[in-house]
Amino acid sequence: MKHRIVVLGAGYAGAFSAGYLARQLHADDFEITVVNAEPDFVERLRLHQLAAGHELRHRPLTEVFAGTGIRLRVARVTGVDVEHRTVTIADDEGIDRLEYDTLLYALGSTAADHGVPGVDEHAFHVAARPAALRLRARLDELGEDGTVLVVGGNLTAIEAATEIAEARPGLRVGLATSGELGGWLGPKARRHLLRAFDRFGITVHENTRIERVEEAAAIAADGTAFVSDATVWAAGFAVHPIAAASGLAVEPNGQITVDRQMRSVSHPDVYVAGDSVFVIGENGHPLPMSCASAGYTGTQAAAAIIGDLTGREIKATALTYVGNHISLGRKDGIFQLVDGDARSKPGALCGRSAARVKSAIVAVSGWAVSRPTFGKPSHKYRLAATRKHSADVVAA
């Protein structure tokens, strides 16, 4: 009987890791199944562009995984039973259960509502493709006359506000943040950010905490009501509660606690990658939820799975955090480098050059995911007769 590997999620972390496993593991010994709610690979880094009205390239997962031997199940994950090693999924045909020997959990994250009343009922977000399309439809309804309020001061909030303002100049766009806009950036980058917001005519409400969202307004802690025809909630991310409900050891925010090889500390047959994982990076800080972290953790998790199942040495993937890359519309951007303590350096790459660099990174990420075996599946490593979980990694 083949060793069953089930990968939950086909975002940047899950799709890349599944392809890497298919390229390295012998098809006679291993069966790889990927479960994903969407039939397509979704470029989450570009969902704010989709919401603003731009079209994204269509990447069906059936084409992405064609020729790899990977089985695709388009379904929602509704539960994980780590004691019995099963995953419950739901699709148009009903409920099904998949059994696994090894699980790679890469379900990612969604928008965090922080318990604020009205967010689920009245706000929009860009953390998933259906949500981005819902916001796009609302912006289409508004046409050239309406008010949009983006709530949040992080990268997603900044990118959503500038993209909408550039793509739909007739709309009145504002941003409310509980702190300073771009307060974590270095002086050069923050000056560039503020100039961009001025150029787009985006109204900024700093030190403003939104405590309630209504159908046509967002209410601040001091009682100020910000009229809004579309409130875009971009105040951080949260992982799905499935992980905590499964019995896996998790952090207070629901992220799964892992060792250096991305193995669950409570269930070593479960590996984790992407936004769902809690791991300390080389700088001593937890890796942030980001595409870059998805790459590092996905590569490490796949290497650990291969090592544990085939008896090979597990190479260490550097868990580094080098900076923030922010798009400001289609032709402007910021690349802010950080030091070893994750503090912004004084200098930064700004303007068209930064925009081109980010565009290239996004394009390469999409290209790599779309070619999971790079056209050359080798299937060379066999299942070891006896297996153990190595506590060590070796330098790559």
**pLDDT by position in tens, the chain (length 396):** 899 999 999 999 999 999 999 999 999 999 999 999 999 999 999 999 999 999 998 899 999 999 899 999 999 999 999 999 999 999 999 999 999 999 999 999 999 999 999 999 999 999 999 999 999 999 999 998 999 999 999 999 999 999 999 999 999 999 999 999 999 999 999 999 999 999 999 999 999 999 999 999 999 999 999 999 999 999 999 999 999 999 999 999 999 999 999 999 999 999 999 999 999 988 888 888 888 888 899 999 999 999 999 999 998 898 888 888 999 999 999 999 888 777 888 889 999 999 999 898 888 888 777 777 665 556 689 999 776 666 665 544
Distance, in Å, from the CA atom of 174 to the CA atom of 226, rounded to the nearest integer, reads 9
* Pairing label, strands 76-81, 94-99: unpaired
Same domain, 37 and 79: yes
Same domain, 228 and 244: no
Domain end point (choices 202, 233, 264): 233
Answer yes or no: do 103 and 244 share one domain: yes
SS3 307: helix
Residue 213, in any domain of the structure: yes
Residue 259 is assigned to a structural domain of this protein: yes
Question: Does residue 379 fall inside a structural domain?
Answer: yes
Cα–Cα distance measured from residue 102 to residue 7, given in angstroms and rounded to the nearest whole number: 9
- Distances, alpha carbon 139 to alpha carbons 148, 159, 164, 192, 239, in Å: 9, 16, 9, 27, 27
Q: Are residues 56 and 135 in the same domain?
A: no
- CA gap 170, 94 in Å, rounded: 45
Q: Has residue 169 been placed in a domain?
A: yes
Count the residues in the chain: 396
- Parent domain of 133: 114-233
Here the CATH number for the domain that contains residue 49 is: 3.50.50.60
Same domain, 379 and 250: yes
- Do 70 and 132 reside in the same domain of the chain? no
Shared domain for 37 and 152, answered yes or no, is: no
Helix (H) or strand (E) holding 368: helix 352-370
> Does residue 82 sit in the same domain as residue 133?
no
CA dihedral 238, 240, 244, 250 (to 10 degrees): -40
pTM for this predicted structure: 0.92
DSSP 330: S
Q: How many domains does the chain have?
A: 2
List own/partner pairs for 54-58 with CB under 8 A and 24 or more apart: 54/167, 57/366
* 253/378 same-domain check: yes
